[in-house]
Amino acid sequence: MPIARVHRIIAQGPDDAAGLESAIAAGTIDPAGILAIFGKTEGNGCVNDFTRGFATQSLTLALARHIGEERAKAVCYVMSGGTEGAMTPHWTVFERVEGEGEPGPALAIGRVHTAALPAEDLGRLGQVRQVAAGVRAAMAQAGLTDPADVHFVQIKCPLLTAQRIGEAEARGASVAVRDTLKSMGLSRGASSLGVAVALAEIAESDLTDAQIGRDLGLWSGRASASAGVELLNHEIVVLGMSKSWSGPLAIDHAVMGDAIDVEPVRAALARLGLGAPGQLGQAARDRLVALLAKAEASPDGQVRGARHTMLDDSDISSTRHARAFVAGALAGVVGRTDIYVSGGAEHQGPPGGGPVAVIARKG
């Protein structure tokens, strides 16, 4: 019977695979069972953040020494740049092993690599459809037949560069946007709507190209998308609860209505048995395995009626402000800083808010 294991490893830099190597040497992690690694790297999180690719390369090379290059490349590496504020750079390693564990339902994991996305499909329905198909395939791999059992879908999606735009235009195709930074938001948005379609949150027939990145009233409560220059396809990881999996881990999710709306997160922690809402003692903190969240600057320039300036800063991207702000709010709830907060939440939760997933050991 499949059992999910999740390991959190502090990283000293984007090339630091020492913690992973140590866990493998100690027998804590079986490299053959690694399905995905989520990482927070200390880059700027923008188009030219090469810490993501550096981390992917470093971790792939480390795993290749144990399981070979082909199997190492099959791992989904979801690197999110930007550890603003006091967010700790770290890796979250998702592993599948076989055995007899605590009876389910338990955390289930599925992962898929899609084909390369044509540049002309980025930010359009072509991307929505490709992601939706990938999510369904990852669900099937995890044995998750009911969309209601899916609690979080983490996607690494591509972006546009000047070279990719030029190649598309040279073959007579047009792209959704020529601004490479804006392409990150469109890619995240289309990917998230793909999740919404796969999980029956939104009907594909209700979507048009023109709504992507514009009609923010359309969103998924379980999608988390991070765009990067280091890939051309999508890497999709589906996390849910399944009776066909066993083991000690469980997952729940919440949706923050705005950047300081931590009460839904407290409620999710309570549903997992980590104390009553508003309380998280040391024993509960020890059972917390991972906290995954999305963050964005509210597009109306306000948080609960008070003006914010995240969108008016010409020096620092608003996604960097949002990551730091939301990470601080969530760190105050769970009492730790090694949490995964990704910036840019287009179609991921309501405008200014975002989905959150909590993985914990069962009580």
pLDDT digits (tens, 9 = 90+) for 150-172: 999 999 999 999 999 999 999 99
Closest CA to 272 of 151, 133, 127, 100: 151
Alpha carbon 125 to its chain's center: 21
Q: Which residue has the tokens 């979507």?
A: 207
Which pairing describes strands 235-242 and 150-158: parallel, antiparallel, or unpaired?
antiparallel
DSSP letters along 80-124, please? EE---TTPPPEEEEEEEEES--S-SSEEEEEEEEPPPPPGGGTTS
pLDDT of 177 reads 97
Active-site residue identified among 191, 224, 226, 342: 226
Q: Which residue has the tokens 């800063």?
A: 313
Does the annotation count 226 as an active-site position?
A: yes
d(CA 361, CA 272): 8
As beta bridge partners, residue 312 has none
What are the residues whose beta carbons fall under 8 Å from the beta carbon of 147, sequence distance 6 or more? 139, 198, 199, 200
pLDDT of 237 reads 98
pLDDT of 71 reads 97
Yes or no: say if 105 and 241 are a contact pair by the CB < 8 Å rule.
yes
Q: Other CB atoms closer than 10 Å to residue 208's CB: what's the count? A: 11
Q: How far is CA 24 from CA 29, 38, 67, in A?
A: 5, 17, 11
d(CA 341, CA 11): 16
Does the annotation count 298 as an active-site position?
A: no
Q: Which residue has the tokens 């995964």?
A: 340
pLDDT of 281 reads 80
Active-site residue identified among 58, 80, 156, 242: 156
pLDDT of 308 reads 97
Question: pTM, whole model, 2 decimals?
Answer: 0.95
Q: Other CB atoms closer than 10 Å to residue 12's CB: what's the count? A: 9
DSSP letters along 283-304, please? HHHHHEEEEEEEE---TTSEET
Residues of the chain below pLDDT 50 = none
pLDDT of 277 reads 59
What are the residues whose beta carbons fall under 8 Å from the beta carbon of 65, sequence distance 6 or more? none
pLDDT tens readout for residues 287-315? 999 999 999 999 999 999 999 999 999 99
